[in-house]
Chain A
């Protein structure tokens, strides 16, 4: 059987020596978070805010340890200032994996509204980002995006589409 997206993510992170994984949790990321905690290769922990996790990964990157911040769309929406002023301005390869909420069947209007800010923010920061929608493209996109970020000293975001992860479906039917 083919690997699940989170198994691919773990394998790609290990192959690229991404060891430090601070995160603010998200339901869709749960299998990835569980796998990372279960594997002694990784140092994984929660932070109070996503900004803090960006700072930690930036500091570690400058001291020789690679890391990736896990978050959901709403977490990304808190980051424009620190991304612009830290990894973008200083050219530090801060890697991010964002579970995409707010689209393809979102049930929370607030999440849907936040979702609309993500692409314009990524575009205006002029930082590299990729949306992953298909399992057969998952390894290639993750691996190449990470490698490009490390080789070019740029931050990068990997967006996990509900098309890849299944997302978070509504617990109730519309009107129900």
Chain B
């Protein structure tokens, strides 16, 4: 089996990959979309009660997903984090490695830039390899997706086998397909219901 590196991975379209991920979810898996366009495309792929949209705390998609994964070890949890955001909180990869939650998968959405603030290059865009960084932190199940079919195969591996898993996606520079409704309290309330952590007689 050939190993895909950061250099020969095909640039993918974030919205298409997000849709492919969501289409494979069958068991109310939690999905945490990070700040930037990660959560926009998660929203655009169609709201699910198990989606959480992080609107403000740059770098906290992985810690949030880790908290959900620790609280509910039987539910698979996906973190969708932009490269700029992950770069701000790289230490979280070591935390994930040390706790080794079997039900956590991290998708690194690497467009080399801060797209939502105008597409400025990140300081890592010169060649830092996030999958290699994840591996060096102790996350052995970390791979770049070579193309769309490989991405789908890797998602299936996340769903079918114990993690923690990391999938790196090299992205093209297409804009997001939509914009999240920015209502944090509603997002939290819906997500808690989606996690079965809150019951309410109020509709929603």
User: Which A residues have a C-beta under 8 Å from some C-beta of B?
Assistant: 20, 22, 43, 45-49, 51-65, 67, 81-82, 84-86, 89-92
**B159-196 contacts to A (CB < 8 Å):** 184-185, 187-188, 191-192, 195-196
Distance in angstroms from B88 CB to nearest chain A CB is 9
Q: With an 8 A cutoff between CB atoms, is B66 at the interface?
A: yes
Q: Which residue of chain A has the shortest Cβ distance to B64 in the bound complex?
A: A59
Q: Which residue of chain A has the shortest Cβ distance to B58 in the bound complex?
A: A81
Residues of B within 8 A of A82 (CB): 56-57, 60
Contact B57 A47 (CB under 8 A): no
Q: Which residue of chain B has the shortest Cβ distance to A86 in the bound complex?
A: B57
Contact A20 B60 (CB under 8 A): no
Which residue, of B32, B52, B71, B184, has the highest number of chain A Cβ atoms within 10 A?
A: B71
Contact B30 A63 (CB under 8 A): yes
Interface residue total, chain B, C-beta cutoff 8 A? 39
Contact B66 A62 (CB under 8 A): no
A48-B95, A86-B56 known; A59+B89 contact, CB < 8 A: no
Q: With an 8 A cutoff between CB atoms, is B67 at the interface?
A: yes
Q: With an 8 A cutoff between CB atoms, is B65 at the interface?
A: yes
Contact A52 B95 (CB under 8 A): yes
Contact B95 A45 (CB under 8 A): yes
Contact A62 B91 (CB under 8 A): no
Residues of A within 8 A of B59 (CB): 51
Q: With an 8 A cutoff between CB atoms, is B3 at the interface?
A: no
Contact B89 A49 (CB under 8 A): yes
Q: With an 8 A cutoff between CB atoms, is B63 at the interface?
A: yes
Closest 9 A/B residue pairs (Cβ): A48-B91, A59-B67, A85-B56, A55-B63, A65-B71, A64-B197, A63-B71, A55-B60, A60-B67
